[in-house]
Amino acid sequence: MKIWGLVTITLRELSAKATLIVLAGISTLIILGIFLSLSSSQVEDGINLMFFGSSVGSPVSHESLHEIVHGIQATLTKGLFWGIVLFGVIATAGIIPSALEKGTVDLYLSKPIARWELLLGKYLGAVVLMLFNIVYFLGALWFVFGIKVGVWNSQFFLSSITLTFVFACLFSIVALLGVLFRGPAIPIIGTFLYLFVGNLLEQREQVLYLISENPMYQRILDGLYYILPQISAMEANIANQITQQGLDWRPFAQSILSAGMLFGGSVAIFSKRDF
């Protein structure tokens, strides 16, 4: 109950942020735009997929229509991923540092709340709010594609859970940097820097290995890849999930262990701090 109370307080704090309002507004505009522009019609040669009343290519079979729509949905989800990174991280990066400010943290710690409970409540509050935003966007689009073109792709809707999981892993980095530096700027910069570095680590054999053939250097790169959350690999798997090509759970299993380790580090640092 104590953690849920902290989650509720965090949701209220985050809901007032302009960045999340902007994110919800952009999502609504995209949903309305697709609803008004997307349609399909049955013709003699198959099914016409249309945008703004104009056909997109030649008529296709029912199976081909599903493949095309799945590809469109995967593209939209990739765009949402970067929207979450841009707006979501910026909107939530200050929630833990603000809780650690003098006076605020004293108020929290004066109550029968353990320090790990305080951090977990703030962490879960940010994740739950992003879940609401993601389910709203993807759920609405899933419904639009279903009623407008007759493609009810359950994996597209379920990817909202997968995408929230990716954000939760990413937010473990935000939380650790927030506890370390007690401000939102470095968590935001550090998270974006990690996304760049993480993408390089994902392609280390094609890119970073070319810098040096030293076995120790390559082992260090491998170690960093397996210690840190594999954001790029999970993002690619979400596209595979939507297009129904199968989901490789190994990056997700590794990333939850990594996120748990990073959050545990946040708790350990916070527990030793004097306020």
SS3 206: coil
Strand segments (E) across the chain: 38-43, 46-51, 54-55
The predicted-structure confidence for 56-77, as pLDDT tens digits, reads as follows: 777 788 788 889 899 999 998 8
**pLDDT at residue 247 tops 80:** yes
Rounded to whole angstroms, the Cα distance separating 203 from 44 reads 47
Note the pTM of the prediction, 2 decimals: 0.91
Residue 107 is predicted with a pLDDT of 86
| Residue range 242-253: mean pLDDT, rounded | 90
Task: Identify the H or E element spanning 54.
Answer: strand 54-55
